[in-house]
Amino acid sequence: MIISLIGWKGGISKTTSAICLATLLARQGKTLLIDSDPNRSASLWARKGKLPFTTCTDNEAARELMSGGYQHTVIDTPARPGPDDVVAIARGADLLILPTTPDPLALSALVQLTQELPEGANYRCLVTISPPSPQTDGAEAIQALKRHGLPVFERAIRRRKEYIHAANEGRTVRGIAWHDWEAVWRELNDGKVG
Ligand X SMILES: Nc1ncnc2c1ncn2[C@@H]1O[C@H](COP(=O)(O)OP(=O)(O)O)[C@@H](O)[C@H]1O
Residues that bind Mg ion (CB under 5 A): 14-15, 41
Q: Give 101: exposed, middle or buried? Use CB within 10 Å, 0-12, 13-18, 19+.
A: buried
Nearest approach in angstroms of CB 136 to Mg ion is 27
Q: Which does 160 bind (CB under 5 to 8 A by kind): ligand X, Mg ion, none?
A: ligand X
Alpha-carbon gap, residue 187 to 185, rounded angstroms: 5
Nearest approach in angstroms of CB 127 to ligand X is 10
Q: Which does 157 bind (CB under 5 to 8 A by kind): Mg ion, ligand X, none?
A: ligand X
Q: Give the footprint of ligand X on this chain (CB under 6 A).
A: 7, 10-16, 41, 128-129, 157, 159-160, 163-164, 167
Q: Which does 163 bind (CB under 5 to 8 A by kind): Mg ion, ligand X, none?
A: ligand X
Nearer to ligand X, 124 or 160 (CB): 160
Nearest approach in angstroms of CB 144 to ligand X is 19
Residue nearest to Mg ion (CB): 15
Alpha-carbon gap, residue 9 to 6, rounded angstroms: 9
Nearest approach in angstroms of CB 22 to ligand X is 13
Nearer to ligand X, 39 or 143 (CB): 39
Q: How far is CA 174 from CA 93, 131, 160, 170, 187, in A?
A: 27, 18, 11, 12, 19
